[in-house]
Structure formats: C-alpha cells, structure tokens
Chains A and B, each alone.
Chain A
C-alpha cells in the first residue's frame, strides 16, 4: 500500500477527518473546563500586569496639558529658539491651565525635566494676565530672561511623546539629560542600585542557608520510619500554618537587643551585658527571619524527591565498594538535584520579592527592593515608578527562570 493513499473509515470519510470530529466534542469540553481558570488568570494576572506596564511608561499628562504647543512644535528643529507660533500656542495652553488652577502639575513635571523651571513658570502665570494680543514671543521673553534660553524649550519638547522609559532609567539610578544622553545620577544618590544588589545578595544567601538546613531535614523526613517522620513533618509545616506576621514578630522578640537570644549569650558569657550585638534592624535579622520563613519551601520539594530514591541504591553503592561518602556524592546527591533545583528556584524567587519580613526586621540596612516599591506606592504615590520597578523585578525573575532552564532544565524540576 502506498503511503499517500488515504485511509478511510468504515463510512468512507477520510480517517483523519472522522478522528477530528470524534475528538471535537472532547476538545470543547476540555476547553470549557479550563475557561474559568483562564478567565481568572486573565483578570487577576494578565490585566494587572498590562496595566502596570502601561502605567510605568505612561507620560500623557504633560502632552495633554499642552496640546497646541506640541502641535506647533512639530516643525521646530530644536536648535534655535522656536517661532512666534510656538510661543503663542504655549501662551494659550498655559492660560487655560492657570484659569483651571492645574498649572501646578505642569510646573512640577517640567521642573523634573529642567531644574528651575518651576519659578519661571510661576512668574509667567502671574504676568500673563496683562499680556496683549500679538507678538507673544517678545512678551514672554520679557517676563523672564530664561525664556530666551533654548534649553527650557527643549525640556518642554522632550516631554512631547506620550510614552517614556525614564522611570526604568530611574530604577537603575540613571536619567537622560538635556541632550537626550543617558547618564548616571550623582554617586551619593544611587540608592536603587544598592537595593537591587542587596536584594539579590539576600535572596542568594537566604537560598543558600535554606539549602544547607533543609537538606538534612528532608533526608531525615524521607528515611525515618513513618511515626517519627510524621511528627517531623508537622514540625516543618507548623510554622507554615502560622501567620507570617506572627512569625516575624516572634523573631523580633528573640533577636532584639534585650531579647532572648541576647539574654542567652550574656548568660553563657559569650558577650558582656553592655555589649549586646545588634541582630535585628539590619541584614542579620533579615537573613535569620527569611531563612526560617522560607525553609518549608526548600524542605518540601527536596523531601518529595528524596522519598522516591530507593534506599537500595545507597546499599548497592556500598556493596559495590563505595565508602558511604562516595556513595552519597556519586549516587544520592545527583539524584536529588531536581529537588534542589526546584527548592532553590522557589526560595530564590520568593526571597527576591519579599516584603513584610524585611520591612519589620530589616531596618535601614536590611530593606529590599520590594520595600522601596511599597514606599513609592504608599508614600510618594509615584505609582508609575512603583510599576516600573515591579516590572523590572518580574523581568528579573523571568530571566533567572530562563537561566535556570538553560542550566538545569525545567523538566527536571520536581515539586512533588
């Protein structure tokens, strides 16, 4: 039989088609079953992220406040002072803003772009009431000599596009200057980079400490007889069931300078009473509390992988002449790598966006990037900057996931 010959079903319909028809109902059924979840994901996840993204690059405010100006500026090349036309358009736009008492926003926004713009604009607001019709260029330039400086007009022009990536630049302590060049902010103002690197550092070490502590626990869990391992499992899960806030608060009780741990150190004579070490409101506190809180996320994937490793493999290794150490590193350890990968990825990604614990026990030197995001959400109300940083964090997580996939392979992950 030639391979090109079409196979027909008993009714004479090509087999492929009749299979499709038969499967169609099941496919629709399957799709309907996942629809609620799909909708849920779109509403609670995809849409907010899209909203965050549009917020982070949104710069329509200035554009909308100066519609005529930007229309007139389209022909301006930005080399010399703009023409009368632009001056007139700006005067008209600004007049409306002053009358509506919304000029303040524009003043603030343009002051971001060029220092000293605010006072120039305020002066214009006062003087423009007396303006006569015609020759606005002369009249405006008379109000303040800075209006003769082309830089100020360039600053306005720079805000013309309704989208900007300046928030992202700000997130890595950079900005674009008057000429549109991207440069770094002054060294003493580079706080975000410190926060980013501290966040990565804390996430890395927390993951590492979690791994060190979770590996033996998971091994015990997987090898102990049932009645003991159940008890141990409850010990692992109990903190999990306790409120995060309560756990963090209990660490505050333990770690503060007059706290239990310090009392104990003094009691055994490790430190003197007036020389109690600070273990909280700094990085140490963040490390200790976050490691404890994230520990179950490392223990559980490791446990689920270790549970599947037959004890006879280690026995086989030993019977073949490997010392217990060699048998562990050549046989047991490689087999737990999927669990290590899953646990590390989970803990690292959770740690990188951790908020409550560093906020409570981190102090000034222990806060992370998420605390900065929250600060901009709640205190400065610069939501677009908060969104930009949130998206940068998300991108960072995705990059880590991608690297991880390249190195270990996501199919190797085992979460249970």
Chain B
C-alpha cells in the first residue's frame, strides 16, 4: 500500500471564536499517512484549535479539512473515527481500565470475544497486561496516560490526535513516555498529530514539526532542519537557544552579507534578506560559536565574560559581545582547559554560514 501524501489536509482553514480575532489564519497543512506530525507553539498560537477542528469539536470558520480526501467539516466527532488522547487523560473514572478500553468497541457493537482480544492486545502494547480490573484512580499518572493511549488506539483509528498528553507527568516519566509513544507509533504505523508546547518533546518524537505562532504555521519541516535552518526569527528563537544581533544589511553578495550593528560588523548568511539597507536579526546557535578557534573562521570577535554557570556536562558562559550582553556560549566539559573566568576577555569565532540573517524582530 502506497502512502497517501495528503492523508490529512487542512485547506485554507480560518477559525475565529468571536468574529473579531482570527485564532487560525489561512492554515494549509498536508499530513502524510503514517506520519508523526507535531504542532508546536506557545500557548494561544492556535495549535490546539487546529487539533479540535480535526477532531470535530470545533468547526472551521472558513476552509475545509480533508481526511483521506473526504471533507469532514460536516461529520460529527463520533463518526470521524479519529482517536484522541487528552491532556488530562479523560479516562472514565467510573469504569475499570478494561471497560474504558472496551468502550469504543462496545459502541461499535463488536462481539464480546473480539473485544476481549483487542483490549488484551492494546493493554500489552502499553505493557499494562493484568491491569484490566483496576479503576483509573488506582493507577499512577504514567499508567493512566498509557491507558489513555491504548484506548485511543484500541479501535484501530486511522489518525490519532494527542493534545499535550505528557503535560501532567514529571520530567523522567515524560521522557520515557516520549520514547514509548514513539515506539508504538513506529510499530503500528498510525498517523499521529501531536500537540505540545515542549520543543524537546517535539524534537525527539516527530517526523515533522509545524511551528505555530499567531495562528499561522511558521515553519513545517523535520526536527533537524527546524533546528539547523530556521526560516524566521520566531522559529530560531522558539526552538533551542539562540544568540541574536539586530542590525542593518550593509553589503550583500554571493550568499553572504555584511550586517552593520550598533558596535561593529559581522558577516552572515542571508536567509530572508535581499537588499542593502534592510533591517535584520542575525541568529547564531550557542554551540556554533567557539572559543579560541583553531581553524580560520570568518567572524572573530572579542568578548568579556560576565557570568559562568556550571551545568555538569557543560558550562554556560554569558558574554558581552559586540554590545550584546546576553550572548550565551556552551562550553563542553572536556579535559581541555580553557581560561574561563569572570571578567576575562576571550576570542570568539563562528562561520558566517551559521550566522543566519533573518527577518527583524
């Protein structure tokens, strides 16, 4: 079976709750069959609204959503056959784990034997075999979460939506659940649309990430591309750590440009700037700037150390560099002894390719 490229399709979708503000603006998004797509964004960016429209709990104000080429705006939620995992699990507290899992099967009038088999299979998939007779209240948060995942998958939906499912778990559990959900996705190949505001979660789990802000998809690409090649300053800022310089283009040629700052000048990689005189924000990842670089780099600056924070595996160093006193460096904890002390002046170098000149903030 060949994978359908636009299995889920948002086509020019707008959404407004009050007729005054658009929460989602002209959303176009194609999701491939079997893909794990994450909608990532700050709260209020419209990502959950998109998920709710796909699930059928909200209707698009304009535009259409297609599921396997069929428009679904007029189909009520219970006929869409989309599984959903809710933020607070939404397990039915008056039913046992078994009854919770059997619920979607019973409403589909599946025979008792098949229900038993499917529930057992789903429980073993989330390694909770033998928990069928427990009440949800007797389970830990992580176990409840796994039951919720099993329940969303037990009736073999074509798409599963997850609305910040790991938000209520503690850090360690959240990480192990991330891998568990990823493995379940890989083993059964269901299409997953995942909503989160946690970028770490998004980067670990997804095939592709749609970064939302202000009701729009800012960038839709694979995790590595998103991190390495953000297309605008919002994405650069939102994903990972980021050092920025605001300035003006003074020269642009052959895939590189000169940016004039208040103090000094740097060479950068023009991404969303085209002509001299444009305002820009230059973004450099902390790990791309090196201390006392051995190789020749086309940007070399001196900075003064203002703060040193020990993090175990690395040390964070805050510098004052070219008038930016928030310039962060991450120095790996290696045997190499660098002279990192408060107040010292050090040499910093980076390649112009890694300094991306993006839209001004």
Question: Which A positions have Cβ atoms within 8 angstroms of B?
Answer: 310, 312-313, 315-324, 326-327, 330-331, 334-335
The 28 listed contacts between A and B (C-beta, < 8 Å) are: A310-B88, A310-B90, A312-B90, A315-B55, A316-B84, A316-B90, A316-B92, A317-B92, A318-B56, A318-B76, A318-B77, A318-B78, A319-B80, A319-B83, A319-B152, A320-B78, A320-B151, A320-B152, A321-B81, A321-B104, A321-B107, A321-B108, A322-B103, A322-B104, A326-B107, A327-B78, A330-B103, A331-B92
Q: How far is the CA of A323 from the CA of B109 in the complex (A)?
A: 13
Alpha-carbon distance A334/B68, docked complex (angstroms): 36
Q: Are A335 and B93 in contact (CB under 8 A)?
A: yes
Identify the closest chain A residue to B93 (Cβ). Answer: A335
Interface of A is mostly: helix
Q: State whether A323 touches B78 (Cβ < 8 A).
A: yes
Decide if B84 touches A315 in the complex (CB within 8 Å).
Answer: yes
- Which of B78, B81, B90 interacts with A324 by CB under 8 Å? B78
List the A side residues contacting B84 at CB < 8 Å: 315-316, 319-320
Q: Which residue of B lies closest to A313 (CB)?
A: B90
Query: B77, A315: Cβ atoms under 8 Å?
Result: yes
- Given contacts A321-B78, A322-B78, whether A315 and B107 have CB atoms under 8 Å apart is no
Is B155 at the interface (CB under 8 A from chain A)?
yes
Interface code B35-57, partner A: CB below 8 Å = 1, 0 otherwise?
00000000000000000000111
Most A CB contacts (10 A, CB to CB) among B56, B57, B82, B90 go to: B90
**A334 near B107 (CB under 8 angstroms)?**
no
Give A7 to B90 CA distance when docked, in angstroms.
46
Are B151 and A334 touching (Cβ within 8 A)?
Answer: no
Determine if B87 is an interface residue (Cβ-Cβ < 8 Å): yes
A409, chain B: closest CB distance, angstroms? 13
Nearest neighbor of A334 in chain B, beta-carbon distance:
B94
Q: Which residues of A contact B91 (CB under 8 A)?
A: 316
Contact (Cβ within 8 A) A312 B88: yes
Question: Taking each of A316, A320, A321, A326, which has the highest tally of chain B beta carbons within 10 Å of its own beta carbon?
Answer: A320
Q: Is B238 interfacial (CB 8 A cutoff)? A: no
Asked if B86 lies at the interface with its beta carbon under 8 angstroms from chain A, I say yes
Q: Are B82 and A319 in contact (CB under 8 A)?
A: yes
Residues of B within 8 A of A326 (CB): 107
What is B's interface to A at a CB cutoff of 8 Å?
55-57, 76-84, 86-88, 90-94, 103-104, 107-108, 151-152, 155, 161
> Which B residues touch A335, using CB under 8 A?
93-94
Kindly provide the distance from the CB of B69 to the nearest chain A CB, expressed in whole angstroms: 21
B88: which A residues are within 8 A, CB to CB?
310, 312
Rounded to whole Å, the gap between the CB of A308 and the closest CB of chain B is 10
Partner of B86, one of A316, A322, A323, A330: A316
- CB-CB under 8 A for A321 and B92, given A312-B86, A316-B84, A326-B107: no
Q: For B152, what are the chain A residues with a Cβ–Cβ distance below 8 Å? A: 319-320
| B87: A residues at CB distance < 8 A | 312
> Which residues of B sit under 8 angstroms from A324, Cβ to Cβ?
76, 78
Most buried by B among A321, A323, A327, A334: A321
Q: Are B104 and A320 in contact (CB under 8 A)?
A: yes
Residue of B nearest to A337 (CB): B94
* In the complex with contacts A315-B77, A335-B93, A320-B103 CB distance below 8 A: yes
CB-CB under 8 A for A315 and B86, given A320-B104, A321-B108, A322-B103: yes
CB of A164, distance to nearest CB on chain B (Å): 51
Is there an interface contact between B92 and A313, defined as CB atoms closer than 8 Å? yes
A119–B88 Cα gap in the complex (Å)?
84
Task: Give the Cβ gap from A116 to chain B, nearest Cβ, in Å.
Answer: 67
Contacts of B56 in A (CB 8 A): 318-319
The one of A313, A319, A331 in contact with B78, judged by C-beta atoms closer than 8 angstroms, is A319
Residue of B nearest to A314 (CB): B90
B168 to chain A, nearest CB (A): 13
Beyond A320-B151, A322-B103, is A315–B90 a contact (Cβ under 8 Å)?
yes
Query: Please, which residues of chain B bring their CB within 8 A of the CB of A318?
Result: 56-57, 76-78
Expressed in whole angstroms, the minimum distance between the Cβ of A326 and any Cβ of chain B is: 6
What's the minimum C-beta distance from A363 to chain B, rounded to whole angstroms? 45
Chain A residues within an 8 Å CB radius of B55: 315, 319
Across the interface, B155 reaches (CB within 8 A) one of A312, A320, A327, A331, namely: A320
Taking CB atoms, residues of chain B closer than 8 Å to A319 are 55-56, 77-78, 80, 82-84, 152, 161
Q: How far is the CB of A413 from chain B (nearest CB, A)?
A: 16
Q: How far is the CA of A277 from the CA of B108 in the complex (A)?
A: 51
Whether A320 and B93, one on each chain, are in contact in the complex, defined by CB atoms closer than 8 angstroms, is: no
Across-interface contacts of A334 in B (CB, < 8 A): 94
Partner of B57, one of A315, A321, A322, A323: A315
Q: How far is the CB of A316 from chain B (nearest CB, A)?
A: 4
CB distance from A198 to the nearest CB of B (A): 37
CB atoms of B107 and A322 under 8 A apart:
yes
Closest B residue by C-beta to A327: B78
Q: Which residues of A contact B90 (CB under 8 A)?
A: 310, 312-313, 315-316
Which A residues touch B80, using CB under 8 A?
A: 319
Closest B residue to A316 by beta carbon equals B90
Residue numbers in B under 8 Å from A317 (CB-CB): 92, 103
Given contacts A318-B78, A319-B78, A321-B81, 19 further A-B contacts (CB under 8 A): A312-B90, A313-B92, A315-B55, A315-B57, A315-B84, A317-B92, A318-B56, A318-B77, A319-B77, A319-B80, A319-B82, A320-B78, A320-B107, A320-B152, A322-B103, A323-B78, A326-B107, A327-B78, A335-B93
Which residues of A lie under 8 Å from residue B92 when comparing CB positions?
A: 313, 316-317, 331
Measured between C-beta atoms, what is the minimum distance from B311 to chain A in Å? Answer: 38
Chain B CB within 10 A, most for which of A316, A319, A331? A319
5 closest A-B pairs (Cβ-Cβ)?
A320-B104, A316-B90, A319-B84, A312-B90, A318-B77
Residues of B within 8 A of A310 (CB): 88, 90
Complexed CA–CA distance, A331 and B93 (Å): 9
